[in-house]
A and B are shown apart, each in its own frame.
Chain A
Amino acid sequence: MKLLSPSATSTTHISSSFFLPNGFQNHGSSSATTFKFSKNQGRCVGNDEGTQITAKFELKPPPYPLNALEPIMSQNTFEYHWGKHHRAYVDNLNKQIEGTDLDGKSLEETIIMSYNNGDILPAFNNAAQVWNHDFFWESMKPGGGGKPSGELLKLIERDFGSFEKFVEQFKLAASTQFGSGWAWLAYKENRLDVGNAVNPLATEEDKKLVVLKSPNAVNPLVWNHHHPLLTIDVWEVY
């Protein structure tokens, strides 16, 4: 059995001593004998049978305890949202890609491939929702809030006028997404507001911050030249 070293991303729950007789323990997981790591691409390799290597996505825990965002977001909410919904997306994605040509790809690759330029394939919903929720937990932190600083604040003031105006615009997008969806702050590499139009001579001035909203599982990764910075889950806000 090949031992892989744990990645740099650690959570507050994994103690300094990883090594236990039966393998790595992943908090919150019932399967103690399966090797589980957080690699940047969200892959993990290895299982308890020892004879077969299967590549599967794993449910990454939020980078803080489930009660860390109280009273704004309760532990109970996290137990459902992360523990059941997010987990179901991961489990269902693994089931869906097994044995297909998506098996073995990174999460981002899976998303782009199954988005299929808009002609969405079945795995997209689960893959994108896994990614979206990972990103969402990272978009929040205990003791967070306040204002950004430095370069980001400068760009926000440049592209929205002020931080307050950005928040207003973001709240408007978030509260007007019909049905299920997400609201995003993203960095767009192209000032043109026309679909996938590319400016071949893009300069620094062509890039800007934008507020976007997307339906269901869609995220900015599938729109060329968009880099998500922050998201909130607005399923059934409106």
Chain B
Amino acid sequence: MAVRTLLSKKTLTTVLRNDPKPIGAAITQSRGLHVFTLPDLAYDYGALEPVISGEIMQIHHQKHHQTYITNYNKALEQLHDSVAKADSLTTVKLQNAIKFNGGGHINHSIFWKNLAPVREGGGEPPKEALGWAIDTNFGSLEALIQKVNAEGAALQGSGWVWLALDKELKRLVVETTANQDPLVTKGTSLVPLLGIDVWEHAYYLQYKNVRPDYLKNIWKVINWKYASEVYENAF
């Protein structure tokens, strides 16, 4: 336990990402419990300006996402203990916290990969397999964007809007989830290609109450390359 606290967060993430048998994992493996850590962004906080401000990216990543991870780890530890003690009441009571915080970690991890600076291909429309699939399922990329924006703007409270692949029905769908519910809660065969965070914390500092403007602009930094990769590797 003491060794873990000596490592800084940055060191820990580097170690966990690069080393096949990293120190961090060895510590957690002795308890049998993996400790989740904040994934680094592939770009600087300011790299998505002016679409999403550096201020938002930093707070969103370092505070919001980190908090989900911290609370997810806490809940998992409590779950681990309650299962070991066969304490069913606690085990079941923890499900909400796990869905919320674990979902928050899952969703944001996808979100960072869904975005890219313009100079690294952000905003470039999808081609080939995913491009054709979009045309087939929605008519055109513009039609898809309109649909996603409409559903994202209409979402009440906090949540996400998704472009998803339904693996079973072999088609693309637009879905929304509430709070931090991961996409699978809407269907076990759904694979997230693109998720857009419409929690106020994702846009308020910059766009204030005008969520539609955020949705209109975010497409300029959407990383279609990642979505295509996921789509092509899904089957």
User: A and B, one complex?
Assistant: yes
In addition to A85-B209, A178-B100, A236-B158, 17 A-B residue pairs with Cβ atoms within 8 Å of each other are: A80-B208, A80-B209, A88-B209, A178-B96, A178-B180, A179-B159, A179-B178, A179-B180, A180-B156, A180-B158, A181-B157, A215-B157, A216-B156, A216-B157, A217-B157, A235-B157, A235-B200
Q: B201 interface residue, CB < 8 Å from A?
A: yes
Q: Which residue of B lies closest to A236 (CB)?
A: B200
Whether A84 sits at the interface, judged by CB under 8 Å, is: yes
Residue of B nearest to A176 (CB): B97
Residues of chain B contacted by A178 (CB below 8 angstroms):
96, 100, 179-180
Those of A146-181 within 8 Å (CB) of chain B: 178-181
Offer 6 A-B interface pairs, CB within 8 angstroms, sorted by A.
A178-B100, A178-B180, A179-B178, A180-B156, A180-B157, A235-B158
Judged by a CB distance under 8 angstroms, whether B111 is at the interface is no
* A179/B158 in contact, CB under 8 A: yes
The answer for the CA separation of A212 and B178 in the assembled complex, in Å, is 21
* Interface: A125 (CB within 8 A): yes
Type the 1/0 row for A80-121, where 1 means its CB is closer than 8 Å to any CB of B.
100011001000000000000000000000000000000000
**Inter-chain contacts of B179 with A (CB < 8 A):** 178-179
What's the least CB distance linking A127 to chain B, in Å?
12
Interface residues, chain A, with chain B CB atoms under 8 Å away = 80, 84-85, 88, 125, 178-181, 215-217, 235-236
Residues in chain B near residue A84, CB distance under 8 A:
208-209
Tell me if B226 counts as interface (CB < 8 A to partner A): no
Q: Looking at the assembled complex, report how far the CB atom of A123 sits from the nearest CB atom of chain B, in whole angstroms.
A: 12
In the assembled complex, the Cα of A80 lies from the Cα of B180 at a distance in Å of 25
A192 to chain B, nearest CB (A): 21
B157–A179 CB distance below 8 A? yes
**B182-221, CB < 8 A from A:** 199-201, 208-209
Q: A178-B96, A178-B100, A179-B178 are in contact. Are A125 and B156 (CB under 8 A)?
A: yes
